Structure 1
């Protein structure tokens, strides 16, 4: 059984030792590429240039066996793991959203009604629901708050959960503007206002996303314009993709979906990252600074077109070029010798079932709709305990692999909640699409450290998770439609991601040892001699640390 956590005194000793033997970086850059499967590095490697992914692979430590060890591979849980080193059972972010029976409300992972958005209209956002600190928080404490932590993304939850609880600035996109909240500051910094006023995000209106690869590069990819790809507005299912939304003459809301579902979304976030470095003077002080950047656009493309589409190949290649330009910028401004770079992803994606069936018609793949799942749950419990009265339902909420029972129905029938949850979990195992369903009491008492049970336990928070948790079989989705791709399962196609570290103190090479993005936080702590984030359960990647 692999060791998941070092004894604290040993970790501190390692941190002091490494820190005394390497020069502290001026800037740490943590890059997350949303929905970037590990095999995008290998499948598309022939089409990458020398300055992006290949540069990191050749000059950094790449862990080819890095997987998330939780059950629900989605955006918020993945980003919460990266710098806390902890899973949802400890950090509180087990899903993107959960149901709160006390308020009878759905809770979004970074919602906070006590703060306000700055720079646009929108609901309050903050890291209040994140229970544990991140590496960035510990870095700030370690340097007496002299280190700066800046986190940016198109998605609020990605930026906020990477940034942690004590960041100097966290910024995300609403339409054409990068915004923040009163959790962090009272007004936008001048450099953010300048970037927003420049109109960069809107500057791609009327442009076209064209292919950059020759036709023969697409030979192993799916056909263009497949019926199971998503078509929205004027974007279409095949190249070239116009970036204008539903109007040829003026900007509408649909434009922002189009620009985000293209390499232009990667481009303007990279520009914003450069503006952050310059505007915040990152890497210019004696204390190391931290910049977190989460690129969301590949996630949008992956959902609409899937991991075997021509669009995802083109997107990866064009992202590689933008990444290469960003690394050259870092080298020119700060020096890569003074920079520690980490690259990973929050999750992968499952192949589109209809794509698999188009090649192998008898494949056991498919989609399970929310409506059918809801119906099956109600029917099973009605069979065991009788139907609820009136318009009531046994099921209060279904979300992200969690089933919340209606406590009013259970009380009205004078039933034991644990007995009802167990009966529901047992009945779900009769559904063809379900791999495993467990009631909360079974999860709470689970002592397994491997397998689906252990992954489900890491995705279970006793105050936020449902009464029953379930996972599907490989190549199945919870989805109400027949187009596009999804993720959220515990298997390698959703869990296997890149993990690359490059910089002073890192031993370059490819490592096949078991690893996880949960190891990034403790490894950075060991490398810089910083306290480990409270609750972290990842390990220090000692095989990649270089003693000089």
Structure 2
């Protein structure tokens, strides 16, 4: 009996060892891919998954990777530049500083000017088409935190190669970071790829050849867009633009030999596909064209990941996929489904607000008091208030008081009807920059979301939130920016040898990508990172893994 018991124990241990080895992994990838689909709400993949047929398209994540159904941003300024910074840095706006795509600053001449999140007057564009009027360059200098790519470069003594690719400059730059070898984006009219002298004085030969290859013209033809129309606005709405961006990424990976680093360290590429944002703004998330674009991206992704399998080997690649923000249902779609929603012009409240402010404090020059409503921030003109002798807290509090009165007036105009009417605009929350900066916010979920949205770049301002599916907007489509769940909900997908395939229903956040990948890569987290390591989706590490073998190797002391 004792012999039998011992024999069973030995067998059990042996079986467990085999299972452990089968589920374990060798945790050192050759290539890290951070893939972002712009304006890609978190329900899209499950909503359309029956239409995904390719093995290595969306099913790379849904069937072969870790699929998180409940990924939500924990801040309240759901904007492209902020979202890409958050993915790259693993921090929110109060950590990385990027609040909006553009904001306003006083120039050296004292005049107020709009600046973009990546604009850098010290550099110029490289590869821009002849005749381009504005050649102002770009960099990540306004991003006040390091990215995952930056930390990988530092950890490898500069040997890791990091790149960013997107149709949008801010998406290519802010996700990849400061220490990247290059970031590339497109000229809006022509679709030609360009960069900035921050990285290089001229385009690499392969990029010049790609621009001359006719790829942009083929994308126009495939997308059914006539010559002369904006490549970004028109071709950018189609699945042809998804393939165009991924084809450029393939050219970069091939020619820069990413995943084949001679130093034996991982390389990283951040790719942001802008197409879903361009089409989504025009038509909304429920329009058939948006479903067609998401489903049409399946084949392009399959081509891209199959290419990686042949060149680097998918077993050597670690991928994270997410979105920079979600999106609200459009007014048109909501009306068709019987859901109250409202798009309304910002001027409906900014114009009466300006009049009320001028009545209280007559202007003393320096322009109007209200600069603009740049969702979710109402930006105020500091110089105009100071000329009138008004302090920041006084200006912001008075603005909120007047806004509250204006929105109350919308509600008081309601009358009785026997058919359904559009709702009136509702202002649910308004907090001042002073309150955000000083931490004078309620101890609630919303207070936390607003706290994470603070940036000194917005200056004197109010952070506003409106009723569900209500948004200041112009045109027929939709937008994103709010603290509401639909704007904060995005996918989080992980693929690679380190991950246990399956569906995970716990709440996670995009900031967890940088934390998880930094842990697996054995590098420092980005400087302001706040996410957690997604240990529930990570396999046990094999006893003979690269990291274990290397840690057993004696190191020569640095003299």
1:58 lines up with 2:63 in the alignment:
yes
Q: Please name the residue that 1:47 is paired with.
A: 51
Q: Please name the residue that 2:513 is paired with.
A: 520
Q: Please name the residue that 1:201 is paired with.
A: 216
1:355 lines up with 2:333 in the alignment:
yes
SS at match of 1:113: strand
**What is the CA-CA distance between 1:309 and the residue it aligns to?**
0.9
Q: Which range moves more in the overlay, 191-200 or 369-378?
A: 369-378
Are the counterparts in 1 of residues 366 and 384 from structure 2 also a CA contact under 8 Å? no
**What is the CA-CA distance between 1:106 and the residue it aligns to?**
1.4
1:111 lines up with 2:122 in the alignment:
no
**What is the CA-CA distance between 1:64 and the residue it aligns to?**
1.2
Q: Tell me, in whole angstroms, the C-alpha distance in 1 between the residues paired with 2:443 and 2:324.
A: 22
SS at match of 1:127: coil
Runs of 4+ in structure 1 off by over 6 angstroms are none
Q: Please name the residue that 2:36 is paired with.
A: 32
Q: Please name the residue that 2:385 is paired with.
A: 410
SS at match of 1:299: helix
1:192 lines up with 2:207 in the alignment:
yes
Distance 1:395-1:275 versus aligned 2 partners, 3 A rule? same
TM-score normalised by structure 2 residue count: 0.83
Structure number with larger C-alpha Rg: 2
Distance 1:204-1:61 versus aligned 2 partners, 3 A rule? closer
Q: Please name the residue that 1:454 is paired with.
A: 448
1:328 lines up with 2:306 in the alignment:
yes
Q: Tell me, in whole angstroms, the C-alpha distance in 1 between the residues paired with 2:383 and 2:356.
A: 18
Q: Please name the residue that 2:137 is paired with.
A: 124
**What is the CA-CA distance between 1:400 and the residue it aligns to?**
2.8
TM-score normalised by structure 1 residue count: 0.85
Q: Please name the residue that 2:376 is paired with.
A: 401
Distance 1:464-1:412 versus aligned 2 partners, 3 A rule? closer
Q: Tell me, in whole angstroms, the C-alpha distance in 2 between the residues paired with 1:397 and 1:255.
A: 28
1:478 lines up with 2:472 in the alignment:
yes
Q: Please name the residue that 1:10 is paired with.
A: none
1:173 lines up with 2:155 in the alignment:
no
Q: Please name the residue that 2:550 is paired with.
A: none
Q: Tell me, in whole angstroms, the C-alpha distance in 1 between the residues paired with 2:357 and 2:214.
A: 55
Q: Which range moves more in the overlay, 408-417 or 316-325?
A: 408-417
**What is the CA-CA distance between 1:489 and the residue it aligns to?**
1.4
Q: Please name the residue that 2:275 is paired with.
A: 297
SS at match of 1:480: coil
- Map residues 226-305 of structure 1 onto 2, 5 A cutoff: 242-244=224-226, 251-285=227-261, 286-305=264-283
Residue 388 of structure 1, aligned match among 363, 387, 391: 363
Q: Please name the residue that 1:419 is paired with.
A: 394
1:307 lines up with 2:307 in the alignment:
no
Q: Tell me, in whole angstroms, the C-alpha distance in 2 between the residues paired with 1:392 and 1:170.
A: 37
Distance 1:256-1:392 versus aligned 2 partners, 3 A rule? closer
Q: Please name the residue that 1:226 is paired with.
A: none
Q: Tell me, in whole angstroms, the C-alpha distance in 1 between the residues paired with 2:304 and 2:233.
A: 24
Q: Please name the residue that 1:214 is paired with.
A: none
Q: Please name the residue that 1:501 is paired with.
A: 494
Are the counterparts in 2 of residues 204 and 264 from structure 1 also a CA contact under 8 Å? yes
Are the counterparts in 1 of residues 381 and 460 from structure 2 also a CA contact under 8 Å? no
For residues 201-246 of structure 1, the C-alpha deviation after alignment (integer angstroms, 9 at most, x for no partner) is 1123444x5xxxxxxxxxxxxxxxxxxxxxxxxxxxxxxxx321xx
SS at match of 1:283: coil
SS at match of 2:163: strand
**What is the CA-CA distance between 1:261 and the residue it aligns to?**
1.2
Are the counterparts in 1 of residues 165 and 172 from structure 2 also a CA contact under 8 Å? yes
SS at match of 2:179: coil
Is there any run of 5+ residues in structure 1 with no aligned partner, and where? 1-19, 210-241, 245-250
Q: Please name the residue that 1:89 is paired with.
A: 94
Q: Which range moves more in the overlay, 441-450 or 144-153?
A: 441-450
Is there any run of 5+ residues in structure 2 with no aligned partner, and where? 1-23, 408-424, 542-559
Distance 1:391-1:76 versus aligned 2 partners, 3 A rule? closer
**What is the CA-CA distance between 1:415 and the residue it aligns to?**
2.9
**What is the CA-CA distance between 1:325 and the residue it aligns to?**
1.7
Q: Tell me, in whole angstroms, the C-alpha distance in 2 between the residues paired with 1:380 and 1:69.
A: 34
Distance 1:449-1:267 versus aligned 2 partners, 3 A rule? farther
Are the counterparts in 2 of residues 92 and 130 from structure 1 also a CA contact under 8 Å? yes
Q: Tell me, in whole angstroms, the C-alpha distance in 2 between the residues paired with 1:387 and 1:197.
A: 57
The Cα RMSD (Å) is 2.0
